[in-house]
Structure 1
Amino acid sequence: MNSLNPRWEEPAGSFLREGFTGQRMSVLPRPRVRQALDSAATSNLVVTDCGYFPRARNHGRTRYKGITQAVILLCVKGSGWVRVDGHAATELNAGEAAILPAGIPHSYAASVPEPWSLWWLHVEGPAVAGFIAAFNPRTLPVIRRMADPVRLASLASEVVTWHEKDTTDASLVASSGAAAHLLSLLAAEQLPGPGVHTAVESVADHLRNNITTHASVEDLAAMAGLSRSHFAALFKERVGVSVLQYQTQLRMRRARELLDTTNTPIERIAGLVGYDDPFYFARMFKKVHGISPRQYRNHEKG
């Protein structure tokens, strides 16, 4: 067994799986899980188990063979640890989420001095693998800082509330929808950690707030305090597209807004979104949208 930080040590006795004051917990009967996975409305994602364990002293689980569901842990207070497939334990602190893929042995437990308060979900279905891939995991467990823990906890509470209500199709659809929303937000946030990743996010913020900027990649790399090649690689890893592609996305989004909501001449819109040459703007717009700015403006929408 890998050694643990002293404040993460495992309790002398067995872990407690439940029974915490103020806890909420709901488990879907397994035959009902199979029915839900066969139903068109919930075939992609089903919440099989969920709950909330406040100040869960001595809480922990060890699963030597893994389970068929992915496990999502949202730590809103205190701390604990997570271990996957026998590797070293990773700390999970307040404001962080852990994602444990299905089928992999794992264990987790609350810390001894400050046990966590934890929202947790077990989810199953074809869509789950897509969400896991969206987290771009390089190591396990996948740990993510939450940009808005209150919002995510509210969604987890919504999942549990629907799950606790009953096992009708309507309740399962609602709980699955809230869980998908929660996973989507976690995947979209992917907050950077300290250091260079924070600098990359600051540059992305700068581009969002200054879409007409003509700063080169070299200028933006200098803003982040990185070499051009290192910055470009980190930006694409963090955002999903290159710096220039991201800037084009931002400019085209603003161009669409102006075309949809104003009568501003197209030549003027080009300048407002950072293009000095309206003909180049028109070419770029058509490359992205497949139609010219004028055709876009005249096309019925809504």
Structure 2
Amino acid sequence: MIVTDADGVREGFAGQRMLVVPRAAVDQALRHPVAGKLLVTDAGYFPHAARHGRSRPRGAGQHLLLVCTDGEGWCRSEGADFTVSRGGVVLLPAERPHAYGASDEDPWTLWWCHFTGADAADLVRTAQAAAGGRVTHLRDPAPVASLLSQVIDALDSGPTLSALIRASGAAWHALAHVIATGRRNPGPALNPLERAVDHLRATAPRRTSVTALASMVGLSASQLSSLFREHLGVSPLQFQVQLRMARARELLDGTDLPIASVAREVGYDDPMYFSRQFSRTHGMTPTAYRERPAGT
């Protein structure tokens, strides 16, 4: 399958993710009282995007949010040129000429989305006012990258109204984070492991690949895996299983949900597979765990 962006330009970055909402679904969602406030029309993740670039002399039909989590790139907007490095956030209003691209020497890793809606322009203006311009630098880009990952995950479930509303909520949160932290005074930042763990806790039970997680925090997959094993004693994927199992225990202890429902709530479509994973972790089945004597 050939993947293209909103302008029909072919893409091809190993490990990329990219979602484009059908324009008929966009037109319908814009008439909805909630989705129409802020609607994501396109979103993606381009890791180490060598030779990536866009030039739009007439601008784009939607507003753009670009977040660089590794490497370097550049942006040109309204006659000014900007360097965009790790932590750089670019906000480009709709219908304004612009161009941007990856550095030849150290291509950026980019998380991005196009968005529109009744409140979109106000959010862009507010974010730019807080940042002091088109480009700002976040002390820690991982939270915004994590939210854009949630946007992509929502759109990946299909162009339903509920998926578009979930994507809108995550995008709104991402823009709010830019507004709130874009001019924060320098201070101690979370280390890559802490940022990765925060993302996994925020997005559980949804699974995040090690490659995508590493790109959010500016490390290679092998470097991040080594940090997890050194400090937490497990791999990133095993840590995600632990989060799922912790949530499963909460549901088994605090609700009367059937085991199959608990499995779905913690991200397992197959109740039998969930039961095997639970037994492997806790040494007993979910049913036995729920029936154990109080206080054990």
TM-score by length of 2: 0.57
Q: How does 1:256-267 map to 2 (within 5 A)?
A: none
Picking from 182, 185, 188, the partner of 1:190 is 182
Q: How does 1:175-186 map to 2 (within 5 A)?
A: 175-186=167-178
- Any idea what SS the aligned residue of 2:80 has? coil
Which residue number in structure 2 is paired with residue 76 of structure 1? 69
Please say if 1:64 is aligned against 2:57. Answer: yes
Which residue number in structure 2 is paired with residue 41 of structure 1? 34
Q: In the aligned structure 2, how far is the partner of 1:42 from the partner of 1:48?
A: 11
Picking from 118, 128, 133, the partner of 2:110 is 118
For structure 2, the residue ranges without an aligned partner over 5 or more in a row are 1-8, 188-296
Q: In the aligned structure 2, how far is the partner of 1:120 from the partner of 1:139?
A: 18
Q: Report how many aligned residue pairs link the two structures.
A: 180
* Residues 20-64 of structure 1, C-alpha deviations (whole Å, 9 max, x = no match): 000000001112111110012201010000000000000001111
The one-letter code matched in structure 2 to 1:107 is: A
Please say if 1:29 is aligned against 2:22. Answer: yes
Picking from 85, 89, 113, the partner of 2:81 is 89
* Residues 232-289 of structure 1, C-alpha deviations (whole Å, 9 max, x = no match): xxxxxxxxxxxxxxxxxxxxxxxxxxxxxxxxxxxxxxxxxxxxxxxxxxxxxxxxxx
Computing the radius of gyration from Cα coordinates, the structure with the larger value is: 1
Contact 2:127 2:175 in 1 (8 A): no
Contact 1:84 1:140 in 2 (8 A): no
Shift of 1:137: 3.5
The one-letter code matched in structure 1 to 2:147 is: L
Shift of 1:112: 0.2
Shift of 1:139: 9.5
Q: In the aligned structure 2, how far is the partner of 1:105 from the partner of 1:30?
A: 22
Moved beyond 6 Å, runs of 4+: none
Shift of 1:147: 3.3
For structure 1, the residue ranges without an aligned partner over 5 or more in a row are 1-15, 202-302
The one-letter code matched in structure 1 to 2:153 is: T
Identity between Structure 1 and Structure 2 (%): 39
Q: In the aligned structure 2, how far is the partner of 1:22 from the partner of 1:136?
A: 31
Please say if 1:51 is aligned against 2:44. Answer: yes
Picking from 145, 150, 153, the partner of 1:153 is 145
* Residues 150-176 of structure 1, C-alpha deviations (whole Å, 9 max, x = no match): 111111100001111100111001000
Q: In the aligned structure 1, how far is the partner of 2:114 from the partner of 2:122?
A: 15
Q: In the aligned structure 2, how far is the partner of 1:101 from the partner of 1:137?
A: 13
Q: For the aligned residues, what is the CA RMSD?
A: 2.1
- Any idea what SS the aligned residue of 1:113 has? coil
Q: In the aligned structure 1, how far is the partner of 2:85 from the partner of 2:124?
A: 21
